[in-house]
Structure 1
């Protein structure tokens, strides 16, 4: 189904109807409908929505913000060569798919779009790692399939080196 539907990725704004979005996680639903625009106006995060081009209904969303992560939380490989105690990164703070579209490949499409954006941000402003928070083991397994590794002190926080994204892009593969 994901390959048949045309998605449109758009920065969240007041013209997009968020009421009624249901991903099955009340905290994520409330974030989208009640907090996302406020956080954007406060420059805390930026939320992008994936819309069905035919109906303009929200398939899913993600938000991105700058972050730092303690170097000691990373593996030696991930922290190698970083002269700082805090490693700069980009956080995909929330990523959710509407219950109607879960299990149909849209999560992968949304994550790929978010990672492409993270790569561009890193090229422009820096950022060594992409950081994600998994709500549970099922979400953790999703991120692990895409190469994310859990940090030392929290099994539900994952990182992916931006250099990995660069290698994928340089090989001509799709992120």
Structure 2
């Protein structure tokens, strides 16, 4: 089994060779990720093989957001106030083609959810929202308990009750 080190993006990581099969995600990690981190609009976390801290195997981003109560599944919405509620956003999650099919995507998602769960001790949130690029990506998230948001075929939510300890 491959061992990975997951940490915030730093200058030791070589982003130039990263290719995940989605050009927009490749461009993001190369050109915009460090800017987003510096500007405090996203936290960017990278996975590197334990044996090579510079080789980018995958990454994800976390940020804060909100969602209108009317956009939530009815069962959850009826338990919440009628104004926008806070959520965590996994804005991007990608695995380099050389590491795909080895479970790294799942490792990254679990790590992202754990970071959000830890933050939930001091920062309230109703859940985690992701934007799926396609049906296979949506299926990946659904496997972990994410549910489609009503009226949006690409946005999914993992309700806080499904993951966070109360």
Q: Compute the TM-score of the two structures, normalised by the length of structure 1.
A: 0.90
Contact 1:122 1:128 in 2 (8 A): no
Q: What is the 5 A alignment of 1:10-159?
A: 10-56=7-53, 57-159=55-157
Q: How far did residue 62 of structure 1 move?
A: 0.1
Runs of at least 5 residues in structure 1 that lack an aligned partner in the other structure: 171-175
How many residues align? The count is 165
Contact 1:10 1:48 in 2 (8 A): yes
Partner of 1:130, secondary structure, is: strand
RMSD: 1.3
Q: Aligned equivalents of 2:77 and 2:129: distance in 1?
A: 14
Q: Compute the TM-score of the two structures, normalised by the length of structure 2.
A: 0.95
Deviations 1:4-63 (A, max 9, x none): 111101100222211101101110011101100101111100000011011221110000
Runs of at least 5 residues in structure 2 that lack an aligned partner in the other structure: none
